[in-house]
Structure 1
Amino acid sequence: MSSIPIRIPTASIYEELASARTTPKTVTSIHEEDGSILDYTERSSDGPSMPPHGLSNQALPMDKLSRAQLIAEQYIKDNKLLKAHEELIRCVALSKIIHGDGHWRLAKAFADLAYSYLTVRGLPVQAKQHAESAKNILLRGVDMSKSVEEKREVLGTLVTIYYTLGMSHLLQNNGRESYVSLQKVQKLIADLEELQEKTSVLGKISDKDIALALGRSCVLQEKLSLAMNFFEQAVKMVISSEGDSSAVLIGIYREMARAEQMKGRHEQAIHYLLQAHSICQAVYKKLSEKAAHTGLLLAKAYAAAGRSEYNENTNKYFTESLSVYQIVLGADDPQTQNTRVEFSKWLIQIGKTQEAYKMLQEAVGSETEYSETVAEMLSIMGSIHLADGKIQKGYQLLKKCLEIQTAVYGSQHSKSKETQNLLTALQKSGASWE
C-alpha cells in the first residue's frame, strides 16, 4: 500500500475549476506529490483537446461529476483502487463547485474520499480530516424530509463518516474515541433497518467489520470481556455466511487470542490460535508465509504459558515456523531472522543457551548487516558469553552490536545507551578477560 499522500484539494483549485466553466482556454490540473497530474484540461493553447473522461470541451461541471462518479465506481469494481481514489478527489472538487459548502452531497463526497484514504491509502490522519469535514457539513443541519431516497443517502453517508472516524482512531490507538464513533455506526444501522435500506448501505461496511472493530477498540481500553463478546459476534456472522473454514476467521481468532493473553488465560489463547493455524494451513497451505506467521504466534503462546509440559509443542511450532520462513522467504529475510531471535529467547529461557547461541551464530554469519534484528542477535550472543564468563568474546560481540545500534537508532537511543553503559562497566570492572 502506497504511503505517498495526495495533496488535499485547496480553495484555489476549486476556484480554478469554477473558472473553467467560463474560460475555455484555462488548463487546470491537480498535482499529486509524486509529480503525476490529475488533469482537468478544458482546452490547450494549441486548440481543442479531449479530456481523459471523454467529455466535450464545453462539458458542465455536473456532467463531469457524473462521469467521475461512474468512473470511480467502475475502477472499484475492477479493483483499480488507486485510480478510483483519484476520481474521488475530482468528485470532492466538483461537488463543491456544484452544490456549495453546506450541501449533503459535498459531505458524501468528502466521506467517500475519507473512506478511500483509510482503506486504499492507509492514511488514518488524512481519512480522519476528510471525515471530520463531512461530519461538520451535516452537523450544520440537513433537511431530510424531502424523500426517503435522500434520507437513505444521508444516513449512509453518516455510516461511512463514523466508521471511518472509528477506524482512524483505532489505527492511532485511540480506543475510547474509536468506540464512541463505532457505536454511532450501530445506531445508524438500526435507523436504516427501519427504512429497510440497510442492505443497500452496508455494501462496503459489514456487520462483521463493525463488530470486529468494536472488539479491537475494547482491547485498547482493556475492556477484555466486552471485546470477546464483539469478537464472538463477528465469528458467528462469518460462520453463518461463509462457513467455519473461512480465511476471515484467521484474523478474528488471532484477535481473540490476544485478548485472552492479556487476561492471562494462555490455554484459551492457544485454543484460538490452533483454530487460526489450522484454517491457515488449509487455505494457504503449510508452506506459506501466512501459515509460518500463525505457527510463530502459536509457538509464542505456548512459550508464554510457561509450563514444561508445553515445551514439546513450543519447540515444534518454532521449528516449523522457522523452516517455512526459510523455504518461502530465505534465511536472510527479516521475518526469518526475527523467528530465530524469538526461538533463541525461549531456548535460553529453558536453559538451552548453547543451542540458542548456535542458532544465532548461523544466522549472523560473517557478513555485516546493519539491522535491528542483527543487533539483537549480537546482543543475545554477547550476553550468553558474559554469563559463561567469556568476557573478551562477549565484549567484542557487544561492541559490534553497539556499532549497528548507533547506525540504526542513533547514539542517544535507549538501546544504544544501554549497550554503551554495559561496555563501559566491563572496561571498569577489572575482570580477567579470557
Structure 2
Amino acid sequence: MMSAVPIRIPTDSTFEDLGSLCTTPKTIPSIHEDEERGSLLDYTERSCDSQEAPPQGLKNRALPVDKLSRAQRMADQYITHNEPLKAHRELIRCVALSRVIHGDGHWGLAKAFADLGYSYLTVRGLPLQARQHAESAKNILLRGVDMSKSVEEKREVLGTLVTIYYTLGVSHLLQNNGRESYLSLQKVEKIVEELEELQEKTSVLGKISDKDIALALGRACVLQDKLSLAMNFFEQAVRIVISCDGDSSAELINIYRDMARTEQMKKRHDQAIHYLLQAHSICQAVYKNLSEEAAHTGLLLAKAYAAAGQSDYNENADKYFTESLNVYQVVLGPDDPQTLNTCVEFSKWLIQIGKTQEAHKMLQDAVGSETEYSEIVAEMLSIMGSINLADGKIQKGYRLLKKCLEIQTVVYGSQHQKSRETQNLLTTLQRSGASGE
C-alpha cells in the first residue's frame, strides 16, 4: 500500500543535473502578465490573517479556502467543456488564493503554480511563461514542504511532480533545448515507473498520458540526434494509441509524421514514405480528402518522394504535389500563404527534374498581377528571376529580381543575408551591362 511508503520529495542533491536549469529564488517569482497581476492583487489585497475571525460584516462572505475550492472546480468544468481560456483564468486565481491560504512553502502552492504552468504550455502556447511557473513550483518542493501523512496528499505531490517535469520538458522542447528537455522528461518517466510499482499510477496521472510522455521523449531524442532511441519512443506511443483507440485514430497522424521525419534524417526514404502513407490515409478517412490536414500530409508525402531522388518516384511525387496544391486552392484559396508555399515546393522539384518552364508558369500564375509584400512572394520572384537568367532572358530576370529585392528590403531589411545576396546579383548584372539599365 502507498501509505507504507514514505513520499520522496526531490532535493538538490537528488537532482544535481537540474542545477544549471534554474536558480532557486529566495521568494516565489512574481507573475508578470497584466491579467495575472490584476487577478493576484484582487485576491491578495482583500485577504486577512487566517488565524483571526472574520469581521462581523464579512461573516456571510466566502472565505479564501471556499474561493479556492470554487476556482479549482470551475477550472475543471471549463476544461471538461473545452473552454481553455476561462479555465486558465481560474488557474491564475488558484495561485493567488493558494498563496493566501497556504503561504509560500506549501505543496498546495506548488500544485497551483504547476497547473498554471501546464496551462500556459497547452492552452496559451507560451513555453517561456510555462517554464517560469513550473520552476516556481519545483523550487517550493526543493526547499522541502510540510505535509501530513495522508495518502491523498502524497498522491497530490506525486501528480504535481509529474506536471512540473513534463511542463519543463516540453517547454524546453519547444525552444529546441534537447538535452534539458530530455533530462526533465526522464524525471517524469522515473516517477511514473515508481507509481506503477506502488499501483498508484491510475489515481495520480490525469491530464498527462503515457502517450504524451513517450511522444515528448521521442522528440527530445530527435533534437539530440538520438534517432534510434527516438524511434523506440515513437513506436511506444503508436502502440499506446492503437491499444486505446484503434489503428485509425487521428492521434496517430502526428506520430507517423514524427517517425517519417526521423527516418528521413537517417536517409531511410522508403521507411519515411511508408509512415507518411499511413498518416495520409488516416487524414483522408478522418478529415476527408478536401481538408487542410489531408493537403498537409499530401505535401509531406510529395516531398518525401522527391527527396528519395529516384526517377521511379517522380510519378508519385507529381501526383501528391498536384493533389495537395489543388486541395489548398479549394480549401484556403489561391492567395493563402500555405497554397503559395506549396507552389514553391512544387516548383523546386520541377526544376530539380528539369521542367523549368513548367515551374516558371506555375509561379507566374500564382503570383498574378497584384504582388504582395511577403516572404513567400519574394521567394517566388527570386526563383522566377533565376529561371530567366538561366534561360538567357537577362532583362526579364533582372526586373523580377529587382522586384524581389524591393519586397525583401521591406520584409527583412536591407542588411539581411537574402537582401544582400539579391543586391549583389543585381549589381553584378548592372556592371556587366546585361541588365539593360
Indicate whether the TM-score tops 0.5.
yes
In the alignment, the residues of structure 2 paired with residue 202 and residue 72 of structure 1 have an alpha-carbon distance, to the nearest angstrom, of 18
In the TM superposition, what are the counterparts of 1:257-336 in structure 2 within 5 Å?
257-336=260-339
Which of 200, 217, 220 in structure 1 is aligned with 2:220? Answer: 217
Contact 1:128–1:165 at 8 Å: present in 2 too?
A: yes
Q: Give the match for residue 348 of structure 1.
A: 351
In the alignment, the residues of structure 2 paired with residue 62 and residue 8 of structure 1 have an alpha-carbon distance, to the nearest angstrom, of 22
Residue 17, structure 1, aligned to residue 43, structure 2: yes
Contact 1:114–1:127 at 8 Å: present in 2 too?
A: yes
CA deviation string 1:45-74 (max 9, x = no partner)? xxx9xxxxxx98632111111111111111
Contact 1:9–1:93 at 8 Å: present in 2 too?
A: no
Which of 133, 137, 140 in structure 2 is aligned with 1:130? Answer: 133
Q: Which amino acid aligns with 1:129?
A: Q
Contact 2:106–2:146 at 8 Å: present in 1 too?
A: no
CA deviation string 1:245-270 (max 9, x = no partner)? 11111100000000000111111111
Which of 123, 140, 143 in structure 1 is aligned with 2:143? Answer: 140
Which of 30, 34, 43 in structure 2 is aligned with 1:7? Answer: 34
Which of 237, 241, 244 in structure 2 is aligned with 1:238? Answer: 241
Contact 2:429–2:435 at 8 Å: present in 1 too?
A: no
In the alignment, the residues of structure 1 paired with residue 176 and residue 59 of structure 2 have an alpha-carbon distance, to the nearest angstrom, of 48
Q: Give the match for residue 196 of structure 2.
A: 193
Q: Which amino acid aligns with 1:152?
A: R
Q: Relative to 1, partners in 2 of residues 1:280 and 1:16: Cα closer, same or farther, differing over 3 Å?
A: closer
- The worse-fitting range, judged by mean Cα deviation, of 397-406 and 140-149 is 140-149
Q: Give the match for residue 3 of structure 2.
A: none
**C-alpha displacement of 1:212:** 0.5
Give the unaligned 5+ runs of structure 1. 24-47, 49-54
Contact 2:363–2:384 at 8 Å: present in 1 too?
A: yes
Q: Give the match for residue 380 of structure 2.
A: 377
Contact 2:39–2:92 at 8 Å: present in 1 too?
A: no
Q: CA-atom RMSD, angstroms?
A: 2.1
In the alignment, the residues of structure 1 paired with residue 356 and residue 258 of structure 2 have an alpha-carbon distance, to the nearest angstrom, of 32
Contact 1:107–1:135 at 8 Å: present in 2 too?
A: yes
Residue 74, structure 1, aligned to residue 101, structure 2: no
In the alignment, the residues of structure 2 paired with residue 405 and residue 16 of structure 1 have an alpha-carbon distance, to the nearest angstrom, of 48
In the TM superposition, what are the counterparts of 1:405-416 in structure 2 within 5 Å?
405-416=408-419
Q: Which amino acid aligns with 1:388?
A: D
Q: Which amino acid aligns with 1:79?
A: N
Q: Which amino acid aligns with 1:229?
A: N
In the TM superposition, what are the counterparts of 1:21-32 in structure 2 within 5 Å?
21=47
Q: Relative to 1, partners in 2 of residues 1:211 and 1:391: Cα closer, same or farther, differing over 3 Å?
A: same
TM (normalized to structure 2)?
A: 0.88
Residue 172, structure 1, aligned to residue 199, structure 2: no
For residue 124 of structure 2, give the secondary structure of its aligned residue in structure 1: coil
Contact 1:152–1:192 at 8 Å: present in 2 too?
A: no
In the TM superposition, what are the counterparts of 1:16-55 in structure 2 within 5 Å?
17-21=43-47
In the alignment, the residues of structure 2 paired with residue 327 and residue 268 of structure 1 have an alpha-carbon distance, to the nearest angstrom, of 31
Q: Which amino acid aligns with 1:245?
A: S
Q: Give the match for residue 38 of structure 1.
A: none
In the alignment, the residues of structure 2 paired with residue 290 and residue 332 of structure 1 have an alpha-carbon distance, to the nearest angstrom, of 18
For residue 232 of structure 1, give the secondary structure of its aligned residue in structure 2: helix
Q: Give the match for residue 428 of structure 1.
A: 431
Q: Which amino acid aligns with 2:160?
A: T
Which of 64, 81, 89 in structure 1 is aligned with 2:92? Answer: 89
Contact 1:216–1:227 at 8 Å: present in 2 too?
A: yes
**C-alpha displacement of 1:15:** 6.9
Q: Give the match for residue 204 of structure 1.
A: 207
**C-alpha displacement of 1:350:** 0.5
In the alignment, the residues of structure 2 paired with residue 250 and residue 172 of structure 1 have an alpha-carbon distance, to the nearest angstrom, of 23
Residue 360, structure 1, aligned to residue 386, structure 2: no
Give the unaligned 5+ runs of structure 2. 1-31, 50-56
Q: Which amino acid aligns with 2:220?
A: S
**C-alpha displacement of 1:16:** 6.3
Q: Which amino acid aligns with 1:7?
A: D
**How many residue pairs end up in the alignment?**
400
Give the share of equivalent positions with the same residue, in percent: 81
**C-alpha displacement of 1:195:** 3.1
TM (normalized to structure 1)?
A: 0.88
Contact 1:390–1:433 at 8 Å: present in 2 too?
A: no
Q: Which amino acid aligns with 2:124?
A: R
Q: Relative to 1, partners in 2 of residues 1:309 and 1:95: Cα closer, same or farther, differing over 3 Å?
A: same
Q: Give the match for residue 120 of structure 2.
A: 117
Residue 182, structure 1, aligned to residue 185, structure 2: yes
**C-alpha displacement of 1:120:** 0.5
In the alignment, the residues of structure 2 paired with residue 199 and residue 299 of structure 1 have an alpha-carbon distance, to the nearest angstrom, of 42
In the alignment, the residues of structure 2 paired with residue 380 and residue 347 of structure 1 have an alpha-carbon distance, to the nearest angstrom, of 12
More RCO (CA 8 Å, sep 6+):
2
In the alignment, the residues of structure 1 paired with residue 42 and residue 355 of structure 2 have an alpha-carbon distance, to the nearest angstrom, of 70
For residue 363 of structure 2, give the secondary structure of its aligned residue in structure 1: helix
Moved >6 Å (runs of 4+): none
In the TM superposition, what are the counterparts of 1:148-167 in structure 2 within 5 Å?
148-167=151-170
Q: Give the match for residue 27 of structure 2.
A: none
